[in-house]
Every structure is written in structure tokens, then in C-alpha cells.
Structure 1
């Protein structure tokens, strides 16, 4: 028999504190709280990782931009436009 493994990461139960009126309205509208939270959390994590990368690489990006301003691009001699 083949081993069948899911490609999805394991889920973990957690507790959240939410505005009770908002929660009641979400339930009334049949909003899947787990899926909604997962999507929102994924967006927030992506934004924070982007900000972290920018902060960690600002000096290198500025250095590269300065070099390009002073010396141009390596491909400038091959450009047709």
C-alpha cells in the first residue's frame, strides 16, 4: 500500500478573542472563520516579511543603485533603445 501524505501543512487549533457582535454577524453570514483568519494572517505575514527583507537589504539596494547611477548598467552597450 502506498503512503499517502498531504501536501497541506498541519492545522493547529488556537483560541482567539474577537468582538462578540462581529463574531455573531460573521456566523449569521456563514463566514468560515478559520479560512478567513488564515487568509488575513497570510497577508499580514507576507507584508511583515517584505518589510523585514527591505530593512535587512536597504544598504545593499542603495549601494547597487548608487553604482548603477555612477557607472550605468552592464548591458547599456548592447541596448538598441
Structure 2
């Protein structure tokens, strides 16, 4: 099954047409809105160097799940 996602506003221009693997291996400042300074802080504080590291970090993953769960509270 093919899946298409428009990430144009979520990534820096240099990464908009890259393969998913290349995006995940990119530095976190490839995400629109994050700067090299943010990337340095994440690397220094949490060892996060790539988008893959950020997305699989247990703290960020837990926070993402909690936010998603809140949307489904009745």
C-alpha cells in the first residue's frame, strides 16, 4: 500500500524531496523551526543528533502518546 504525506511545511527546503530514511538520518535542525542551536542543545542534553533519535527518544515518545490520548478522552 502506497502512502503519501506532504511534509513541505514541516521540513527545511533541502529535505522536502528526500527519502524517508534520509530524513530520519538528518540532523534535527532539518525540521522546520529548529535551528542549529536547538540541535546543539538536544545533542548536549539528551544525546539526540538525528530526527530518528528525536522521534524514538523515550521522553518525547511518551509525551506524544499522552497528547494523542488526550484527544480521545471523552
Specify the TM-score bucket, using the shorter chain as the normaliser. Answer: 0.3 to 0.5
Q: Which has the larger radius of gyration?
A: 1
Higher relative contact order (CA 8 A, sep 6+): 2
Structure number having the greater helix percentage: 1
TM superposition score normalised by structure 2: 0.34
TM superposition score normalised by structure 1: 0.32
